[in-house]
Structures are given as C-alpha cells and as structure tokens.
Chains A and B, each alone.
Chain A
C-alpha cells in the first residue's frame, strides 16, 4: 500500500511538470487517464481485492461458448 503510493507519487512528480510546462494538453490528459486507471488497479491489487483477469473471460468465450478446444490426447 505504502509502496504503491510512493511509486505513483514519484511517477507523477517525474512526468507531470514537463507535460504541464510544455503545454501539451492531449498528452497531459492521456497521461492522467492512464495514470488514474493504473493507480486504481494497483490500489485494488494492494488491498487484495480480486481483479478479474481478461483471460478468464476469453477462456469462457472461446472454450465454453465457441467450443474451440483441442481434445486431450490419450
């Protein structure tokens, strides 16, 4: 938890000032958006809250829904 906060503060400190000073609005908003997503995910991970894996969904979609699976060799 504390690691997450420190690391993200560091990332923000390194990245934000040049973006703001150079006046690149698009880059700034992209950075903030990804930053928030990453931050929320990391916080969830640090608090041991299960994050659904995209592979679970894919597995369901492909193996169970579409039935694509190689048969087990005997």
Chain B
C-alpha cells in the first residue's frame, strides 16, 4: 500500500544505479590491456569524468519529470529529427544488451561449460531477462538492494580472504603508462560501466520524486565505482604484472584463495555474483529497449513486442562478434567510439536546446 504501482522511489534508484554500474565489473578487463597495473587510477579518473556526464542525464530527466527520453526527443527536436535521435538510442540499447548477453555466454562457455553451445546460454539468459522485464520495472527495483547487498558481501569477503596474498609493490612504478593509453583506458571505463546508465533515461520517468534524483544517482554511481575500484586494486595487487595475460582477472585472483584446502573454489562465487549482476543490468537494458521501441511505435504496452525483441536480441548477440578476442578488440575501439556522441554529448545538447527553447512548460501539459 505504501508503494505506488509502477513507481520506484529514489532509494531504489540508488541501488539500481549501483547494481547497474557493478554489472560491468567483469569488463574492467577491457581496460587492463591499456593501463596494466595503473587501472585503479583509470577507474578513479573515470568516476571523475562520468559524474558531470551522468549529471547531464539526470538534469535532462528532472527538467522533464515523468517523461522518458523518447518523449523528450519528440518535444525538443520535433517529431522527425526526434525520432531519428531516438533510433540512435534504441540502436545503442539493442547493441548494449547484446554485448551483456554475450558476456554471460562467453563467461559460461569459457569458464564453466565449454561443451555446451553458446546460443543455449544466450537464449536462456535472454529469456530470464525477458521474464524479469515482463514483470515490470517495479519488481526489478525492489530486488535491487538484495542484488547489491549480495554482491557487496561477496566482494568484501573475497577481498578480506585475499589480503594475505596482496602485494602492494605490484602498483609500482606509478605513472609509467603513456598518456594516450591512459586516456584510452579512461574512455573505455567511462563508456562501459558508467555511461551505459544512459538507459536510466527510460527509467527516470517512473520515479515518484524526480527532483531529488540527482543526488541519489551520483551516489549510486560513486558507490558502484568504488566497487569497481576495489576489484581493480585487488586484481592488480594479487596478480601483479601477470594481470594482462588472463582472460578474466577476477577469476584468476579469486582462484588463489586457499583456506585449509577446503575453501579453494571461491571463484564459483565470482561466477554467481557476476551472473546476478549482469542479469540485473541486462534486464534494465532490455526494459529500456522494449519501452523505447514501444514508445516510438506508439504502443500502449511493451509486453506484446517483448518476446520477439528478445528473440532478435538473442540472434544479434550470437552473431555480433566472432569470438571473445574479437569482442575485446572491437570493444576497445569501435565499440566505444560509435556510442561516444550519444553517451557524452546528446543528453547535454538536448538539455541545452531545451533550456534555450524554454521547453518543458506548456507543451508538457498538453502532451501528458
């Protein structure tokens, strides 16, 4: 009774953002190639870069309370240009969901069950996400703090268990990474864990109090960022210079835990929380995708197109990359460049135009 139907509150939003950012914990790997043992610095720099960018998202959403980004585009750019820009968003959501889906596929295919066909994992995972999205945004928001709590506990536990083997001289020498590599690394980390939360532009509309959102989103971002930082520090401290040669550094470092020869397989837990976190992130992305497609087509509900969309996504994620190596290589370049205008500039420009045209006053009332 105290929770309104279809609405989420700001605390839930905080946990959603944290969980969403944490969902990319595996992907810190993409940056390890460039910055090696200095990844933790890149993570810190990325948090600093991401805060103003993400603030622009929230500012845009607070200016148009109760509306999602597709509606905002229509208002700000007019129906035709607005639709085109919305298509860019949809394209981004679709690709990002397929990347995350593929992450799960590769995780299980490589580390856990090499014999099974990847399409099976992709389809099963996508259907699970579709089930979650089918239930709506509210249940997802309601379980967000459970997901964050579980992942936080596991991370903390693993960190404590690994403190023994950590060697902080692994961070030395500081500042030996070339500047261009450092920028590259920051670009990757900003784009993938942090700015993918542009998907929240489809979610801010369901907030009960949009005005207060900014604080919570930024704090969610920071807390998620610090978990990434913890992971980067842990992996470098444990693995040292070998950090670049592993496919998944988190797995490797956790595998080193050995307590009384009983607790030797803590990497199982990495797999478990990884799955849960990516599930959460992918579900939010799928929700953003489904609602944006439904919105652009003017449908009353996204439920009818949910399953066909999921099916398309499964095929997309099965074919989008040839191999994990292709995945990593492409992500480091084309994968972040194609979305750069959208992630860093579009919301800010939209906001700017809205401010100049003094938009959300009479029009909003007419539309809603």
Contacts and interface: CB of A to CB of B under 8 A. Distances in A.
B304 A55 contact: no
B315 A41 contact: yes
B148 to A, nearest CB: 31
A68 B337 contact: yes
B307 A11 contact: yes
B42 to A, nearest CB: 13
A11 B311 contact: yes
A64 B17 CA distance: 35
A58 B366 CA distance: 39
B178 A73 contact: yes
Nearest to A19: B304
Given A45-B319, A73-B180, A34 B308 contact: yes
A70 B305 contact: no
A21 interface: no
Nearest to B322: A53
Contact of A59 (B301, B304, B330): B330
B333 A31 contact: no
A54 to B, nearest CB: 7
B308 A62 contact: no
Contact of A63 (B178, B299, B334): B334
Contacts of B187: 70
Interface string B76-96: 000000000000000000010
B66 to A, nearest CB: 23
Contacts of B334: 55, 58-59, 61-63
Interface residues of B, number: 38
Interface in A13-33: 14-15, 19, 24, 26-28, 30-31
B305 A31 contact: yes
B308 A35 contact: yes
B338 A58 contact: yes
B297 A42 contact: no
B184 interface: yes
State the majority secondary structure of interface residues on B. Answer: helix
A1 interface: no
A73 B315 contact: no
B319 A34 contact: no
A53 B319 contact: yes
B299 A30 contact: yes
B299 A62 contact: no
Which of B308, B312, B319, B337 gathers the greatest number of chain A CB atoms within 10 Å? B308
B299 A55 contact: no
Contacts of A28: 304
Given A38-B315, A71-B180, A15 B330 contact: no
A54 B319 CA distance: 9
Interface string B327-344: 000101111011000000
Given A55-B335, A58-B334, A73-B180, A27 B301 contact: yes
Contacts of B319: 45, 50-53
Interface centre among A28, A35, A55, A73 (most CB of B within 10 A): A55
A59 B333 CA distance: 8
Contacts of B338: 58, 61-62
20 contacts: A11-B308, A26-B298, A26-B299, A27-B299, A27-B305, A31-B308, A34-B309, A38-B311, A39-B311, A41-B311, A53-B319, A55-B330, A55-B334, A59-B330, A70-B34, A70-B180, A70-B183, A70-B184, A70-B332, A73-B34
Given A63-B334, A69-B333, 10 more contacts: A11-B308, A30-B305, A38-B311, A41-B311, A45-B315, A53-B320, A53-B322, A54-B316, A58-B338, A73-B178
